[in-house]
Chain A
Amino acid sequence: MKTQDLIDQFGLTAAAGKAGIDREIAGGYCGDLLSEVMANAPIGCVWMTIQVHQNIVAVAVLREMAAIVLAMDNQPDLETCEKADREKIPILLYNGSSYELAGKLYAAGIVNETADE
């Protein structure tokens, strides 16, 4: 499944980084502590978080993520959008919780393969 399919199927809105929406999704991760996500999120995943500041983009780039989803109707900072556009990391908005979306993604077949290291 690609990020564009995710948007279409689950009613997400792309707030930024639209140039990157044709990437294949290789798993999912939920987390709001950046060091924890940095160390454990699967490469190529879609990351569900409530953090909205610009440093989430660097984490996504370094973990080669497919997209970031801001759950619970959280809105990204302006700087976050600018950075996401520059790095082609889609920032998607979802009005439900990370838990709810993670369940839907799992049911749709987005599961994590073995840990990358």
Chain B
Amino acid sequence: MAALKKSFQLKSRDFIHAGEASISVQNMLKQIGIESALIRRVAICAYEGEMNAVMHGENGSFRIEVNTDKIILDISDEGPGIEDIAKAMEKGFSTASEEYREMGFGAGMGLPNMETHSDRLDIESEKGQGTRVVMRFSLSPGSRENKTGQSA
């Protein structure tokens, strides 16, 4: 099977469209019959990554690739970068503004959620150089339901 790829551009602070890439990915995975528990994990990671890029980044890009053995989410931006990745991974740590916190973001759960729900999380970032977050999800033969794409 050829790899299935899709990519989206993410605009900084564009809350009107924020979340649409993740919803589109969710629909795509349903259509190709990925099992629902895995779709839900991918959806959590996609949403967190997308919101991070929209809130903190500039010129974000969001790509998904579905291979025979894995799903890869690759989200990057040209934002301020992460100064201390280990610190950013701590639950509860956030650099979100007061405005974002009032919207219910900035609880310091985004990166921990991505780590918990992906099989592998890689973050490349440098202060002032942007951030790239790559999440991988293993696809076992049982991860695909029948071709109709029906989920429970």
The answer to whether B44 and A39 have CB atoms under 8 Å apart is yes
Task: Give 6 A-B contacts (CB < 8 Å), ordered by A residue.
Answer: A33-B107, A36-B107, A43-B36, A54-B15, A55-B51, A58-B47
* B residues in contact with A116, CB < 8 Å: 37, 40
Judge whether A81 is part of the interface by a CB distance below 8 angstroms: no
Judge whether A35 is part of the interface by a CB distance below 8 angstroms: yes
Within B18-47, which residues are at the interface with A (CB < 8 Å)?
18-20, 22-23, 26, 36-37, 40-41, 43-44, 46-47
Judge whether A7 is part of the interface by a CB distance below 8 angstroms: no
B interface footprint on A7-39 (CB within 8 Å = 1, 0 otherwise): 000000000000000000000000011111011
User: By DSSP majority rule, is chain A's interface helix, strand, loop, or mixed?
Assistant: helix
* A residues in contact with B107, CB < 8 Å: 33-36
B residues whose Cβ falls under 8 Å from a Cβ of A: 15-16, 18-20, 22-23, 26, 36-37, 40-41, 43-44, 46-48, 51, 103-105, 107, 109-110, 113, 116-117
Answer whether A57 and B19 are a contact pair too, CB < 8 Å, given A33-B104, A35-B107, A51-B103: yes
B89 CB, nearest partner CB in chain A, Å: 14
A85 CB, nearest partner CB in chain B, Å: 14
Answer whether A53 and B103 are a contact pair too, CB < 8 Å, given A38-B113, A62-B26, A117-B41: yes
Bound: A63/B23 CA distance, A: 10
Judge whether A61 is part of the interface by a CB distance below 8 angstroms: yes
* A residues in contact with B41, CB < 8 Å: 117
- Nearest 5 Cβ contacts at the A-B interface: A58-B19, A35-B109, A33-B107, A34-B104, A62-B43
The answer to whether A54 and B16 have CB atoms under 8 Å apart is yes
Bound: A62/B19 CA distance, A: 9
A residues whose Cβ falls under 8 Å from a Cβ of B: 32-36, 38-39, 43, 49, 51, 53-59, 61-63, 79, 87, 116-117
The answer to whether B22 and A58 have CB atoms under 8 Å apart is yes
* B residues in contact with A56, CB < 8 Å: 104
* B residues in contact with A55, CB < 8 Å: 15, 18-19, 51, 103-104
| CB < 8 Å neighbour of B105 from A34, A49, A63 | A34
The answer to whether B104 and A62 have CB atoms under 8 Å apart is no
Bound: A102/B110 CA distance, A: 26
| CB < 8 Å neighbour of A35 from B36, B37, B113 | B113
B96 CB, nearest partner CB in chain A, Å: 11
A76 CB, nearest partner CB in chain B, Å: 13
* B residues in contact with A36, CB < 8 Å: 107, 109
